[in-house]
């Protein structure tokens, strides 16, 4: 597969790789996500607003590290139509410093989570963490789900915590450590779609084996994580194979560099590209869309869902 260089704003010249064809007849994923604190309907596309309480995230690092600023941003996301919020306190950007300790991660999360449950009690909140201790504290404080970007690779006890609380669990595909997973160190695949599905299936088996109910699980192919630009586009094209596993699929293309590889836009110029990628993922069967800018994605998804439902 090949892409135009970053300076080109023309369409990518993508060639089909026979190894990436859909392996099984696509079927519709579950139309609801059951979590211990409630159910999120997926009859319509669900937009998940990103809330980074970090000093170093690639798109908005430092803007919402202060709890008051984070809560104002949460209110904006909800007002724009976010169906759910995903709060993260540890960046996965390439070249980041040492891992954040549990204590520091929780120091950033605690005041935000507490106020979110008070101000937006009906809005599901997931916490983006790879640590079981942080997950346990967050779920006890009111979070509905855990978004594990390591897919249980780094701390399988995250599944134990989710099982205990009956919480939702997002299993995202990635490879390597927290500091490596957004880079290309592990971006070598025999057939990227098949390999991603196989590795996610293994994560599901770990979760089920530790007591997580299947209806609590959402799958995320990890766009931008351990994948080169052309591999991300192959994964987007191959989404029906992942959807065919029967669990809701979340995608997170928001402002990622694989979009800039085609459009040439800087991070702050990728919201239109993000909305386009989300619309394509919706047509491929994805149900949840994790993004920074809610409104343009909602509009794009409305059209994609109308097409998909026609």
DSSP H/E element including 251: strand 250-251
- 257: annotated active-site residue: no
* The predicted structure's pLDDT at residue 98: 72
Domain for residue 14, yes or no?
A: no
- Mean pLDDT for 175-181 is 92
- Mean pLDDT for 51-59 is 71
Q: Decide if 29 contacts 287 (C-beta within 8 A).
A: yes
pLDDT at 69 over 50: yes
Residue indicated by tokens 């995250």: 158
DSSP H/E element including 34: strand 32-35
* The predicted structure's pLDDT at residue 224: 95
- CA distance linking residue 191 with residue 183, whole number of Å: 18
pLDDT in tens, 190-234: 999 999 999 999 999 999 999 999 999 999 999 999 999 999 999
* The predicted structure's pLDDT at residue 105: 95
pLDDT at 16 over 60: no
- Mean pLDDT for 51-63 is 66
Other Cβ atoms closer than 10 A to 166: 16
| Catalytic hit among 108, 228, 290, 298 | 290
| Catalytic hit among 153, 256, 270, 298 | 256
- Mean pLDDT for 9-21 is 38
pLDDT at 25 over 50: no
Q: Decide if 225 contacts 92 (C-beta within 8 A).
A: yes
Give the pLDDT band (50/70/90) at residue 189: very high
Other Cβ atoms closer than 10 A to 64: 24
* The predicted structure's pLDDT at residue 60: 47
pLDDT in tens, 125-158: 999 999 999 999 999 999 999 999 999 999 999 9
pLDDT at 15 over 60: no
Domain for residue 19, yes or no?
A: no
Which letter does DSSP use for residue 156 in this model? T
pLDDT in tens, 237-281: 999 999 999 999 999 999 999 999 999 878 888 999 999 999 999
Spell 127-153 as b/e; 16+ CB within 10 A means b.
bbbbbbbbbbbbbebbbbbbbbbbbbb
Domain for residue 12, yes or no?
A: no
Domain for residue 10, yes or no?
A: no
- pTM of this structure: 0.88
Domain for residue 8, yes or no?
A: no
- Mean pLDDT for 165-172 is 98
Handedness of CA 109, 90, 198, 23 (dihedral sign): positive
Give the pLDDT band (50/70/90) at residue 24: very low
Domain for residue 16, yes or no?
A: no
Range of the domain at 129: 28-309
The total domain count for the chain is 1
Domain for residue 22, yes or no?
A: no
* The predicted structure's pLDDT at residue 92: 80
**In the chain, which ranges are continuous DSSP H helix?**
67-79, 102-119, 132-140, 157-165, 192-209, 229-237, 239-243, 257-263, 271-283, 294-309
DSSP H/E element including 87: strand 84-88
Q: What is the CATH number of the domain that holds 191?
A: 3.20.20.20
- 256: annotated active-site residue: yes
Domain for residue 17, yes or no?
A: no
pLDDT in tens, 88-114: 999 887 665 578 899 999 999 999 999
* The predicted structure's pLDDT at residue 55: 77
Q: Decide if 87 contacts 125 (C-beta within 8 A).
A: yes
* The predicted structure's pLDDT at residue 29: 73
* The predicted structure's pLDDT at residue 10: 37
pLDDT in tens, 72-93: 999 999 999 999 999 999 988 7
User: What are the φ and ψ backbone dihedral angles of 34, each rounded to 5 degrees?
Assistant: -85, 130
């Amino acid at each position: 597969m090949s892409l135009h260089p970053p300076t080109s704003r023309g369409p990518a010249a993508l060639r089909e790789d026979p190894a990436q064809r859909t392996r099984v007849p696509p079927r519709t994923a579950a139309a609801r996500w059951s979590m211990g604190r409630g159910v999120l309907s997926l009859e319509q596309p669900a937009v998940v607003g990103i809330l980074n309480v970090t000093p170093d995230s690639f798109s908005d690092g430092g803007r919402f590290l202060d709890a008051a600023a984070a809560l104002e941003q949460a209110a904006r996301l909800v007002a724009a139509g976010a169906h759910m919020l995903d709060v993260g306190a540890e960046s996965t950007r390439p070249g980041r410093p040492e891992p954040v300790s549990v204590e520091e991660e929780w120091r950033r999360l605690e005041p935000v989570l507490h106020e979110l449950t008070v101000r937006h009690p009906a809005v599901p909140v997931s916490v983006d963490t790879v640590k079981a201790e942080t997950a346990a504290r967050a779920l006890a404080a009111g979070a509905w789900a855990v978004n594990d970007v390591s897919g249980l690779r780094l701390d399988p006890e995250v599944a134990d915590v989710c099982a205990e609380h009956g919480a939702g669990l997002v299993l995202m595909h990635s490879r390597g450590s927290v500091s490596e997973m957004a880079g290309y160190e592990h971006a070598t695949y025999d057939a990227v779609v098949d390999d991603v599905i196989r590795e996610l299936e293994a994560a599901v088996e770990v979760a089920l084996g530790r007591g997580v109910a299947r209806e609590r699980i959402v799958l995320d192919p990890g766009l931008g994580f351990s994948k080169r630009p052309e591999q991300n586009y192959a994964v987007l094209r191959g989404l029906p194979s992942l959807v065919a596993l029967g669990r809701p699929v979340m995608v997170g293309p928001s402002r990622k560099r694989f979009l800039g590889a085609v459009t040439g836009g800087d991070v702050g110029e990728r919201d239109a590209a993000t909305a386009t990628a989300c619309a394509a993922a919706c047509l491929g069967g994805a149900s949840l869309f994790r993004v920074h800018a809610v409104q343009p994605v909602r509009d794009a998804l409305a059209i994609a869902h109308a097409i998909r439902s026609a």
